[in-house]
Amino acid sequence: MAYVITQPCIDVKDKSCVDVCPVSCIYFDTDDVDRKLYIHPDECIDCGACEPECPVNAIFEQSVDGGRCFGHCRRGMRLAMSLPHQRPDGSALSARDVMRRAKLIEDIGFDGIWVGDTVGRGTRARPDALLTLGIAAAATERVELGTAILQVPLRHSVELAQRLLTLHALSGGRFAAGVGAGSTRADFEAVGVDYDKRFATLSEAVVSMQRLFNGESVGAANLQPWPDVKGGPPILIGSWHSGRWVRRAAEEFDGWIASGLTSYNAINEGIQRYRDAGGQRAVLGTIAVDLRATTRKLADDEPFHLRCDLDEAGARLERIAALGYDDALLTALNHTEADITEDDLVALRGLVPRPP
């Protein structure tokens, strides 16, 4: 299998790989069409000397079937999928519907099932995130189950901690709590909670929930967690790419969930800030998918998405993996099984080989 040079090399053209290549199989794009170096497949001897020298992690092995082995293949980037919100005719999903879809996602090989959280906004019904994941847990055995992002200020912290701990137990320890302050005023107005105090509420609530997960008392409350789930689910903080919550996610919690609704530039800036603060698990959530959309060039300052053909979707995921994200969470607003079909799921899963 020859090595290939991928998109992060564009406009960089560092010569470190050229200098270490023992057979001089790395060339410049003399026509400046691709704007990057390339490795001649017939001349490459698969020594791998170039890979560790690349300053932007753009060099990877070609896959056994002749396709690209994207950066996620070596980095082990996990790929997760959301669940539909309704049936194609607009009617509500049954528990059986949720279980069938969850099992399908797991059987195809996705690493996780993550769902969002809204209350009171929009023009369509939205399912409760935790109830939906509880049903999905009953139909699956391997996949991680997560929220991205559960709006903590909309609930009382003690009651919410009990629900999260219960879901963690019911799923056999497979639940990850992606939580945040929320950013849509309509959800707060729907439940009568002060939108302007949401960050202060989140700050107090997540500390209380951590204590409750560990069996500590918070006021008059003590959840007496079961021994096998004491400590509770991992808490990942969902926030925008700037601000103190990125640092707090790195220093105090189990991970950070970036928004896929922002631009590639913001996604890049955010993970650099997170890693500089010592953060470990980095997740890119809310990546919109539509494989039937017209494909066009996506500028680095435009909102990131996968509304494009399959090849372009793979190239965009490759860039996310090259930045060092550990997980990519795919979704589509208000989607049904007709919008993201079984064939679509198989094709999307094939873009990112399973981590070893």
3-69 against 76-350: fold identical: no
Helix (H, G, I), strand (E, B) or coil at 348: helix
Give the pLDDT confidence score for residue 71 in this predicted structure: 39
Classify the phi-psi angles of 28: left when phi > 0, otherwise alpha if psi is within -120 to 50, otherwise beta.
Answer: beta
What would the pLDDT profile of 254-267 be if each residue is shown by its tens digit?
999 999 999 999 99
Q: Write out the two tokens for 205.
A: 């609530």
Tell me how long the chain is: 356
Tell me how far apart the 2 most distant CA atoms of the chain are, in Å. 72
Q: Cα–Cα distance between 249 and 276 in angstroms, integer?
A: 12
The H-assigned helical ranges of the chain are: 16-20, 71-75, 95-108, 129-139, 157-170, 185-191, 198-213, 244-252, 264-276, 310-323, 342-350
> Over 266-325, what HEC string results?
HHHHHHHHHHHCCCCCEEEEEEEECCCCCCCCCCCCCECCECCCHHHHHHHHHHHHHHCC
Report pTM.
0.80
For residues 249-253, average pLDDT: 96
Q: What is the mean pLDDT of residues 107-135?
A: 93
Task: Report which residue type is found at 191.
Answer: V
CATH class of 3-69: alpha beta
Domain regions of the chain by residue span: 3-69, 76-350
**How many Å apart are CA 319 and CA 261, to the nearest integer?**
16
**Residue 3: strand pairing partners:** 61
* 227 and 221 Cβ atoms separated by less than 8 Å: no
User: Could you tell me the CATH superfamily of domain 76-350?
Assistant: Luciferase-like domain (3.20.20.30)
pLDDT digits (tens, 9 = 90+) for 53-95: 887 666 766 543 333 343 333 346 999 999 999 999 999 999 9
Q: Are 59 and 68 in contact (CB under 8 A)?
A: no
For the chain, the average pLDDT equals: 89
